[in-house]
Amino acid sequence: DIQVTQSPSSVSASVGDRVTITCRASQGIDRWLAWYQQKPGKAPKLLIYAASTLQSGVSSRFSGSGSGTDFTLTVSSLQPDDCATYYCQQANSVPYTFGQGTKLEIK
Amino acid sequence: QVQLVQSGAEVKKPGASVKVSCKASGYTFTGYNMHWVRQAPGQGLEWMGWINPNGGTTYARKFQGRVTMTRDTSINTAYLELRDLRSDDTAAYYCTRDNSWYFFDYWGQGALVTVSS
């Protein structure tokens, strides 16, 4: 199974800051990676897929990059509404696996 | 608009079975794969498997033998059945639509299954 490891596990930043979350796959997955945002008590929301494609309706403050084993999610100009847990997911091969999550808090 | 509406919370005893439903609307149900993902309280996301438009299924090895995914195209509803429940099956179970790239673009609201004696 492909393991995906996120870092950091938590991050605290101020409104207006730029935040970067990374995801590393245990083997190459080309660009088969997505990022999700989840708020407490809610279902996850797709932000980015295929490493860098912005899901329709998602703010352009979110961007993704990477290929192979190393990927990043960047949130530019952090807003209070961005407070959530973020997960990456690999779709290269079954079983599709998620990272352990990164909790983003606003200072 | 695309909607996935799941059945309500369930409480089950160890060894029992549970069947969760997921009613889809706003798109052509038979045109997309449906996946199931679960999340234990305070924990991360775990992929369980998927059912394709032809009814074919792929399950995560961890759940093989205990899980069955089906769908009824006449009522645009997908189902997840999990048998021989254990306490560590306590989780929110989500259905989620595959955007044709094996990423998940729409999600149900989740169905909390609690396994307790």
- The answer to whether the CB atoms of A96 and B47 lie below 8 A apart is yes
pLDDT at A19 over 90: yes
Contact assessment for residue A9 and residue A33, using Cβ atoms and an 8 Å cutoff: no
- The answer to whether the CB atoms of B102 and A36 lie below 8 A apart is no
> For chain B, how long is the longest CA-to-CA vector?
41
How far away is chain A from the Cα of B49, in angstroms, using its nearest Cα?
A: 8
Instruction: Provide the pLDDT for residue A42.
Output: 97
pLDDT band at B67 (very low <50, low <70, confident <90, very high): very high
User: Which of A13, A14, A18, A17 has the alpha carbon at shortest distance from A72?
Assistant: A18
- Sheet (strand B77-82) strand order: B3-6, B18-25, B77-82, B67-72
How far away is chain B from the Cα of A77, in angstroms, using its nearest Cα?
A: 24
Calculate the average pLDDT of chain B: 97
Tell me whether the omega of the peptide bond preceding residue A8 falls within 30 degrees of 0, making it cis: yes
Instruction: Provide the pLDDT for residue A55.
Output: 97
* Spatial separation of the C-alpha atoms in residues A66 and A85, rounded to whole Å: 20
pLDDT at B61 over 90: yes
Please state the rounded mean pLDDT for residues A79-87: 97
Instruction: Provide the pLDDT for residue B59.
Output: 98
Query: Three-state DSSP class for B88?
Result: helix
* Spatial separation of the C-alpha atoms in residues B95 and A43, rounded to whole Å: 10
Give the distance, in angstroms, between the CA of residue A18 and the centroid of all CA atoms in the same chain: 14
pLDDT at A32 over 90: yes
- The answer to whether the CB atoms of A87 and B45 lie below 8 A apart is yes
Instruction: Provide the pLDDT for residue B15.
Output: 97
Please state the rounded mean pLDDT for residues A64-77: 97
Interface of B with A in 67-106 (CB under 8 A): 94, 96, 99, 101-105
Query: Three-state DSSP class for A102?
Result: strand
* Spatial separation of the C-alpha atoms in residues B29 and A4, rounded to whole Å: 31
DSSP-derived letter for residue B55 is S
Q: Tell me if chain B has a CB within 8 Å of the CB of A64.
A: no
**Amino acid, res. A44:** P
* Spatial separation of the C-alpha atoms in residues A3 and A88, rounded to whole Å: 11
Q: Which of B45, B102, B105 sits opposite A98 (nearest CB)?
A: B45
- H-helix or E-strand spanning residue A67: strand A62-67
How far away is chain A from the Cα of B73, in angstroms, using its nearest Cα?
A: 24
pLDDT band at A41 (very low <50, low <70, confident <90, very high): very high
Tell me whether the omega of the peptide bond preceding residue A95 falls within 30 degrees of 0, making it cis: yes
**What token pair was written down for B112?**
């909390």
Interface test with A, best of B45, B50, B95 (most A CBs within 10 A): B45
How far away is chain A from the Cα of B62, in angstroms, using its nearest Cα?
A: 9
Please state the rounded mean pLDDT for residues A12-37: 98
Q: Tell me if chain B has a CB within 8 Å of the CB of A58.
A: no
pLDDT at B49 over 90: yes
pLDDT at B53 over 90: no
- Residue in A closest to B63 by C-alpha: A95
The residue ranges of DSSP E strands in chain B, in sequence order, are: 3-6, 10-12, 18-25, 34-39, 45-51, 57-59, 67-72, 77-82, 91-98, 104-107, 111-115
